[in-house]
Structure 1
Amino acid sequence: MGSIYLIRHGQASFGADDYDVLSEIGIRQAEILGRHFSQLGLGFDRCLSGELRRQQHTAQATLAQIGSAGLPAPKIEIEPAFNEFDADAVIRALLPHLLEEEPQALEVLRNPGQNRNEFQRLFARLIGCWLNGEHDESLTSWASFVGTVRDGLERLLARANPRQNIAVFTSGGTITALLHLITGIPARQAFEMNWQIVNTSLNRLKFRGSEVTLASFNSYTHLELLKTPELITYR
């Protein structure tokens, strides 16, 4: 059987004007992950990334460490199907309804770095509405997002050879969609797991032909071993 390693990007710039940039911690997380793979003697036959900078930068920093150890570190293939869903669009579309019940939500969502816990609570409410389809057709639906991710997985598998090790650098929402597709877990429960996905954590899929199973979820031993709590982040 072959293996697909779904890797969430390193810590991005939460609360900054441009979220899609790795923080210093995010770069360090990616380098640590690359050294972890090197210590395991694990290189890759293929490497895919979404189009987002935080995804590609994580891939580059990880592969640099693998390559420096003399292990296979292939060129990054860009696959837009592994982008994250547009969280900003979800917030913009659904916020007006939320404000009727939670008038403070606008201030919290404008300053997420200063209100992390409250931001998460409100964001989870908005995601719940998105999953339920409580929005107009101008917003990409959860079902459409899942369909895009499914198409990307099918393209990956169609080109995969048996026993290949394939790395996919992506984001939490995409990993959640894949969990939903592969295990059949309901979307709401999948998102409860989403909130626990650590930056640069590993989620391993095993595949034979078009058959895919989940082998492990949200492993971040490479960070835990360093006994440095600030390296374990969720955004």
Structure 2
Amino acid sequence: MPEIFAVRHGQASFGSDNYDQLSELGWQQARWLGEHWAEAGEQFDHIVCGDLRRHRETAQGICDGLGADTDRLQELPQLNEFDFKRVMQAYEASNPGVMPGPGAARADYYRVLKQAMHAWSVGEIHAAETWQEFEQRIEEVLGIIAAGASRGRTLVVSSGGAIAMMVRQILGAPAHGVIQLNMQIKNTAVSHFFAGRSGLSLHSFNHVPHLDSGQRRQYITYS
């Protein structure tokens, strides 16, 4: 049965001038995942990712560890994350002073992001991309991936929000499920889907087999 392995990008550069690039640890997380799959004898017939830098770099790191060629990597912009910065800005414009100040804990930032996503999902705030448009492009790219998966095993590299939306759509869960799932997905975590005649089904969610043992547990991250 055709299989799809959706991987969230490695740790990005939170707090830097350019979030959209992997940190040194993010590169290592990606290589470790590729090495884990190489040791298990795993291979992929198709590799796709969004066109954000952190997606491409994660795919490169996985392929480096796996010993795979990236020449066949296909970029699908529909796999990109929603623009969380604009969503946050729109929420702040409606709620002045809500944003955490300099030096605030990441937990404070994610608390406000969760509130902003909820406001965005119910139409209380408006960003460049609407919630409905986000839903539609993820539905579109799932169709593209499922069609390709009929020819084998597919590796997908994307972001937490996009993967959460995939899971919500496959399970038929309510919209607020995306918000809850998004906050749980670890960097380079793997969600495993099967593609059958009745559509896509979820086999496992948010696994980090390459990090979930011994001293590597300290390298599990969420941003």
| Fold match by TM threshold 0.5 | yes
Q: CA deviation at 1:142?
A: 1.3
Supply the AA of the counterpart residue of 1:198: K
Contact 1:43 1:73 in 2 (8 A): no
1:142 maps to 2:131 = yes
CA distance in 1, matches of 2:36, 2:45: 17
CA distance in 1, matches of 2:18, 2:197: 39
What is the correspondence of 1:36-115 to structure 2 with a 5 Å cutoff? Answer: 36-67=36-67, 75-99=72-96, 103=97, 105-108=98-101, 111=102, 114-115=104-105
Contact 1:7 1:168 in 2 (8 A): yes
Q: Which residue of 2 aligns with 1:2?
A: 2
Q: CA deviation at 1:55?
A: 0.7
SS of equivalent residue, structure 1 residue 139: coil
Q: Which residue of 2 aligns with 1:124?
A: 114
Supply the AA of the counterpart residue of 1:172: G
Number of aligned residues: 223
- Which segment is superposed worse, 221-230 or 169-178? 221-230
Within the candidate set 171, 180, 183, 1:195 is matched to 183
CA distance in 2, matches of 1:107, 1:199: 23
CA distance in 2, matches of 1:90, 1:11: 21
Supply the AA of the counterpart residue of 2:206: N
Contact 2:190 2:208 in 1 (8 A): yes
Q: CA deviation at 1:230?
A: 3.0
CA distance in 2, matches of 1:226, 1:21: 27
Supply the AA of the counterpart residue of 1:24: E
Supply the AA of the counterpart residue of 2:208: Y
Q: Which residue of 2 aligns with 1:12?
A: 12
CA distance in 1, matches of 2:221, 2:148: 33
Contact 1:30 1:61 in 2 (8 A): yes
CA distance in 1, matches of 2:184, 2:83: 19
Supply the AA of the counterpart residue of 1:157: A
Within the candidate set 135, 142, 159, 1:153 is matched to 142
Q: CA deviation at 1:72?
A: 7.5
After superposition, the C-alpha distances for 1:134-188 in whole angstroms (9 at most, x for unaligned) are 124x5311111010011111122223334x1100000001001101110011121
CA distance in 1, matches of 2:37, 2:88: 37
Q: CA deviation at 1:88?
A: 0.8
CA distance in 1, matches of 2:70, 2:28: 18
CA distance in 2, matches of 1:52, 1:210: 31
Contact 1:44 1:72 in 2 (8 A): no
Supply the AA of the counterpart residue of 1:41: G
TM-score by length of structure 2 reads 0.94
What is the correspondence of 1:152-191 to structure 2 with a 5 Å cutoff? Answer: 152-162=141-151, 164-191=152-179
CA distance in 2, matches of 1:210, 1:45: 22
Contact 1:46 1:74 in 2 (8 A): no
Q: CA deviation at 1:210?
A: 6.2
CA distance in 2, matches of 1:183, 1:106: 33
After superposition, the C-alpha distances for 1:17-47 in whole angstroms (9 at most, x for unaligned) are 1100100110110010001101110010000
CA distance in 2, matches of 1:130, 1:171: 18
TM-score by length of structure 1 reads 0.89
- Which segment is superposed worse, 116-125 or 219-228? 219-228
